[in-house]
Structure 1
């Protein structure tokens, strides 16, 4: 298969709107009124509307509450933060690799915004930990991904999928890497998110959960962006439209759901009555079905069409107007709506 070509710095002979999503031609001059994809500019506005920084959130109450959490709650809290820090770190780098090969300057711009948001996410984990634990313990938490076997297994699964594309950039490996991206941003975060929302439901660590809510909102837009790129690439490359890619998507998500379920058993298990393990396992399959469907492929798990953890909708709801659910203060952030494709299956 042909190799991917990097986008030129500029091309005086090419149009502003790209001729193809990858391996096409474009002047590389960004004119939002002259872009190829109608969904690009509305998404750009949504991503800008989500702008936030960790410094907006006062961690003083969480700092006091953290000391009152049970040992199991503290352990899960720290290990999940360690997981998220790893995922968002490699996500920043991956998105910059992707941007090099996107012909259209508007999509490159969206990827730049996405990369910036991932940096903010990663910094937010440092911000949380610096508010709760000593520097030496913070450093230790950021090393978890190297030594924890369960964590390492699921992280290697994603990293190896990305590395195949980085080392051998073709339309096919590019498309496959997007599948791993949607797993990372649209599935791997969610059992961890549910833990923080569970704490918020018990009025614990509410400021941390507010931050997680903002990250959750960003990640939904990221999934939407990559799902659109995935479908556009398949449209333009007939050889990528067959059953082989469909089966790759399904089998990769099945494996990802298995690893996520193993992680959920390890990090949450039956430790917290507010998160029944059976519900969480079903929730993972529900989210896997949802993401595969967003990629335009038949869902891999029979059933699992409704959210078994309906209570979580209150905490991850993106349609709550301009009032922050947790802190009840006026915000001007754009809220994702059902028009943007984030409804239930």
Structure 2
């Protein structure tokens, strides 16, 4: 059956097809069962293991050097650092909020496992930015940097462009 419409999958589907040969990335009649032993997309198994091995915790990274270097940056360097960090926080926050939206349409559960890991990793990235900011500046400065994208004309324009594309989905 050829269709131009991408359908959102049901979460509970007792009538779902369990034949791996029929499985498709989208618009498949899925059961939503995570079956690690029967995957159509074999690349997922290696990717999944590699992604799990990439796990790290931001607080395990020593930022003492950053704490002493940040105050010595020139005004232009600090401005660039702050704006880039504000932009990255926005991007990773948006991505972690959006990946579950995409997952609602993916009917190959092994691929959804990858999206779940990516969502988790985007959250870790966001946490790492907060950890970086906590290490180099006061809570007030941290909040100013985190939300610069709301008041900086260029960051806001860039984020609006990206955010509107995400909203269209």
TM-score by length of 2: 0.91
Query: Greater shift after overlay, 148-157 or 73-82?
Result: 148-157
CA distance in 2, matches of 1:107, 1:127: 30
Q: CA RMSD in A?
A: 1.5
Structure-2 residue corresponding to 1:9? 12
Q: Point out where structure 1 has 5 or more consecutive residues left out of the alignment.
A: 166-345
Answering whether residue 52 of structure 2 is matched by residue 41 of structure 1, we say no
Which aligned pairs between 1:1-345 and structure 2 lie closer than 5 A? 1-15=4-18, 17=20, 19-165=23-169
Higher RCO (CA < 8 A, seq sep 6+): 2
Give, in angstroms, the shift of residue 39 of structure 1. 1.0
Q: What number of residue pairs does the alignment pair up?
A: 165
Q: Is the 8 A contact 1:146 1:152 kept in 2?
A: yes
Shift of 1:12: 4.8
Contact 1:11/1:28, CA 8 A, preserved across alignment: no
**Secondary structure of 2:11 counterpart:** coil
Deviations 1:54-92 (A, max 9, x none): 011011121011111111111111111101000000100
* Partner in structure 2 of residue 333 of structure 1: none
Per-residue deviation, residues 229-259 of structure 1 (Å, max 9, x unmatched): xxxxxxxxxxxxxxxxxxxxxxxxxxxxxxx
Contact 1:16-1:27 at 8 Å conserved across structures = no
Counterparts of 1:11 and 1:45 in 2: how far apart (Å)? 29
CA distance in 2, matches of 1:67, 1:10: 56
How many angstroms does 1:27 deviate by? 2.0
Q: How big is each residue's C-alpha offset from its partner over 1:211-242, in whole Å with a ceiling of 9 and x where there is no partner? A: xxxxxxxxxxxxxxxxxxxxxxxxxxxxxxxx
| Closer, same or farther: CA 110–3 of 1 in aligned 2, 3 Å | closer
Moved over 6 A (4+): none
Q: Residues of 2 paired with 1:135 and 1:148: CA distance?
A: 19
Structure 1 residue 6 displacement after superposition? 2.1
| Structure-1-length-normalised TM-score | 0.46
Q: Is the 8 A contact 1:85 1:122 kept in 2?
A: yes
Q: Residues 16 and 28 of structure 1 are in contact (CA less than 8 Å); yes or no, is this contact kept in structure 2?
A: no
